[in-house]
Amino acid sequence: MPITTPTTAPTASSRRAELAAFLRLRRERIAPQDVGLPAGPRRRTPGLRREEVAERAGVGVAWYTWLEQGRAINPSVQVLDAIARALLLAPAERDHLHRLADVPGAAPPPAAPQPPAVALPPEAQTILDSLSPLPAGLVGARYDVLAFNDAYAALDPRMVVLPPADRNVLWRIFTADEETQPLVDWEREASFMVGYLRGEFGRRIGDPHWRAYIRKLSDASPLFAELWARHEVSAPATHRKKFRTVYGNEVTITATGFTTTAAPGTKMWIYTPADADAAGAIEELLCRYREIGAAGMVAEAAAARRTGTP
């Protein structure tokens, strides 16, 4: 079976379907009061009406309806920007809208379909190791963990004991049980990561590897499927997050992502301790990792849970 590419008709149809769903869900999230309109007693659906969006954007109601229905029409950059303003889209959402509409010159070209494997430059591991004791890892656009240093492994040794092909952050957090879940603020972090994934997917709608990945996650986790169906888009940003260590302690870090030109589509995430307590906790985890390894830490933590010892 031939691989579908971004220029084939099936991909164009898929792109229009994504655009239609995105517009509808963004319209439904806006309360009339948010844009200075009365709520009114007779609204049967959430959010704005199509005619209200069309009026705010300065386009015809029928034309906007066709766009939201996924019909094959060609909006200009100016019209898309007007719709983005009408729907109160954030910059990342506006860029996503441009990509889905496939307007020439409106956004960078979509990424070509390719296998998930990414060739890393030989110096990547040296750079990661030099950042220790700060946890640092190279993560692909699908949240595949491609490389990491000892401090990163110490912070989540359960990730490290997985086979390399299975090391994926989203798979880890959406399939973990309560005892092995590494994220404390799960809902906030999961929503943020799925929103970033949605934006990256917009660049690769014709990629069969990505579509298979989304199906696999959706089948494995109803929670992922629910978040994915929201069509929310987010941009990577420096933010604080809390990890639950393998021993059950909480560690607060600041996550900062850096784009790597040597490995397109990947980011280097560096975790900076939020305070002295977090720095000390990471140092202790790192020492333990270097003493007994990831598998040893996982086994030690499991034994402690069974016996009820700290």
Per-residue pLDDT of the chain (310 residues; tens, 9 = 90+): 233 333 444 578 888 899 999 999 999 998 888 888 776 667 677 788 899 999 999 999 998 998 988 888 888 889 899 999 999 999 999 999 998 988 765 445 555 555 555 678 888 999 999 999 999 999 999 999 999 999 999 999 999 999 998 999 999 999 999 889 999 999 999 999 999 999 999 988 888 999 999 999 999 999 999 999 999 999 888 999 999 999 999 999 999 999 887 777 899 999 999 999 999 999 999 999 999 999 999 999 999 888 876 6
3-state secondary structure (DSSP) of residue 148: strand
At residue 207, the pLDDT reads: 87
Please provide the distance, in angstroms rounded to a whole number, between the alpha carbons at the two ends of the chain: 55
Neighbouring C-beta atoms of residue 241, cutoff 10 Å: 18
What is the token pair recorded at 149?
């240093």
What is the token pair recorded at 126?
């040296």
Q: How far apart are CA 146 and CA 302, in angstroms?
A: 26
Distances (CA, A) of 101 to 14, 22, 24, 104: 11, 11, 14, 9
What is the token pair recorded at 14?
């898929």
At residue 104, the pLDDT reads: 64
Q: How far apart are CA 152 and CA 81, in angstroms?
A: 41
3-state secondary structure (DSSP) of residue 280: helix
Locate the DSSP E strands across 127-167: 136-139, 145-148
At residue 6, the pLDDT reads: 39
**248: alpha, beta or left, given left = phi > 0 and alpha = psi -120 to 50?**
left
Query: The dihedral of CA 244, 250, 254, 260: what is its sign?
Result: negative
Distances (CA, A) of 303 to 219, 246, 271, 298, 300: 32, 11, 28, 9, 5
